[in-house]
Structure 1
């Protein structure tokens, strides 16, 4: 019982307190890939702790029924004396009720996630197919040019192939180095399959809308993935070309949820990040802090589960 209680408490703390702490740790954007890993570690740890709590609770219920024992909470393992328990029938009925409710809730959430993922993928494929239909061919692989006065560049996943959409308005504003940097940004999204990750996070957030960790992860990770794509573009085309390209596209229209646009997400924060250099000391401090956050999120559920078995 102790393991189930501690894992449930840990999952609750991550879900309700985690977003506040993670925003402070990952808010600088110095290491966006590690920041993404920190958020994903917290999400996976919360889910793992919840599933682990159900598993330990189920094992305790089976052990109680099989050996005719009373379910009890050992206070000694919590630093206190004695044992807290209920009459065997009441404790077993309560535990079975909690276990059944948790299992049913898990199944419902998984079903909702699957439905949301199918909807998002269908919308993305339709968007990509429409862009190929109305867009004209270009000299860049996988890029179509759509006649529109608003400057915009974004990518959409689809079958059989994903597509990068550039409007004629964007071509009129971007010079050759800027366009190359913007396209490198979009190619980075597609190569790293950022769309798939965001679809999963958004499906999870929509399935559990009242749990702040998942909603925050979907929002913050989207911003961080833009910074990850920025870093790829900067390595091949330089900061200034990408920065000027972002500024040239800031007046573009709002993108569909299935699209990832070069200048559609956290543009001001990304521009500041590109324009401001970071000291070596701050670079290492941020890196160590993020690795510590990832390690703590991953190890804590295992530690809590094992500590109650020793």
Structure 2
């Protein structure tokens, strides 16, 4: 139990600080967004499991040599109102931390989901009242707004894609097709559920680098995955031009011969974060981020599986 607690603690520190920082600063995820997203999910799950497991195994050391026997002994002692002689204050703190942390993460995920669903239902109602259907585009609504806006709105029974009138005026028909395909990819690939999980993780542990780095990184990766789906509908340059136009609020000049040059333009208003989300996507579509080799993608997938398997195996070995 002691060795397991130490190993899990080391893994917790690694997955909470250096690993997410290194991954967030790496450039290769732009070349393999699917593999990078799987790695982020593995880091988050393995980090949470390691953290709870480290506290739990340390706290259970006085109660037994295996996890089942230690848990059974803990229940027996709680019912009898006694504790083993070797139980120290640190063990009690660790057990309390494991219970509180696990409860906090689960409740935070549940509350994030409930709040998100409530906001989404209200948003659906407002869109239905304030928008008009786009002809020949089932499930697509248009709101009267001058700024170029496009987003998807998932629903339990019906999902919709929302576009602004400014978007329709700004984009050419092929560019608009690419944007709509991109938004529908978000819906079909359930990206809102992925983002919700990382949003919950961030709100539960905002001081952890894994939490505050992962949310932004994952948001960019799901945009790239949706871009990949849209590439089946329009060519890369058309899609990149649409992204640049929308991301710079129309400041990008379609007459610029090199699309890569346009990505160095200043964003329209405020949008440092928004422009940071646009630039890597345009560079990727214009060939500046070539796809990661298959062998490298397999290695990333193997690393994701190994990270998740490590704390799981450590806990199973104690059974």
TM-score (norm 1): 0.80
- Could you say which residue in structure 1 is the equivalent of 2:132? 136
Q: Deviations over 1:209-233 (max 9, x none)?
A: 1111022111100000000000000
Aligned-pair distance for 1:243?
1.1
Across the two proteins, how many residue pairs are aligned to each other? Answer: 279
Query: Are the equivalent residues in 1 in contact too, given 2:29–2:36 (CA < 8 A)?
Result: no
The one of 298, 301, 310 equivalent to 1:291 is 301
Work out the CA distance in 1 between the residues paired with 2:108 and 2:49: 18
SS of equivalent to 2:148: coil
Query: Are the equivalent residues in 2 in contact too, given 1:223–1:266 (CA < 8 A)?
Result: yes
Work out the CA distance in 2 between the residues paired with 1:249 and 1:272: 15
Query: Are the equivalent residues in 2 in contact too, given 1:150–1:251 (CA < 8 A)?
Result: no
- Could you say which residue in structure 2 is the equivalent of 1:163? 160
Distance 1:52 1:26, change over 3 A: farther
The yes-or-no answer on 1:194 pairing with 2:191 is yes
Work out the CA distance in 1 between the residues paired with 2:228 and 2:311: 33
SS of equivalent to 1:235: coil
The yes-or-no answer on 1:117 pairing with 2:118 is no
Query: Are the equivalent residues in 2 in contact too, given 1:125–1:157 (CA < 8 A)?
Result: no
Work out the CA distance in 2 between the residues paired with 1:127 and 1:252: 23
- Could you say which residue in structure 1 is the equivalent of 2:243? 246
Aligned-pair distance for 1:154?
1.1
SS of equivalent to 1:97: helix
Unaligned ranges ≥5, structure 2? 71-83, 251-266, 268-273
| Mean Cα deviation higher: 202-211 or 124-133 | 124-133
Work out the CA distance in 2 between the residues paired with 1:121 and 1:306: 36
The yes-or-no answer on 1:105 pairing with 2:101 is yes
Q: How does 1:1-310 map to 2 (within 5 A)?
A: 1-25=2-26, 27-57=28-58, 59-63=60-64, 89=85, 91-138=87-134, 139-252=136-249, 266-276=277-287, 282-284=292-294, 286-302=296-312, 304-305=314-315
| Mean Cα deviation higher: 282-291 or 177-186 | 282-291
SS of equivalent to 1:158: coil
Aligned-pair distance for 1:2?
1.4
Work out the CA distance in 1 between the residues paired with 2:101 and 2:315: 22
Distance 1:185 1:192, change over 3 A: same
SS of equivalent to 1:246: helix
| Mean Cα deviation higher: 244-253 or 197-206 | 244-253
SS of equivalent to 1:185: helix
Work out the CA distance in 2 between the residues paired with 1:101 and 1:295: 27
Q: Deviations over 1:23-70 (max 9, x none)?
A: 245644111111100100100111121233344345533227x89xxx
Q: Deviations over 1:261-299 (max 9, x none)?
A: xx877111100110015567x533642442243133123
Unaligned ranges ≥5, structure 1? 68-87, 255-262
Consecutive aligned runs of 4 or more in structure 1 exceeding 6 Å deviation: none
SS of equivalent to 2:155: coil
Work out the CA distance in 1 between the residues paired with 2:230 and 2:116: 27
SS of equivalent to 1:145: strand
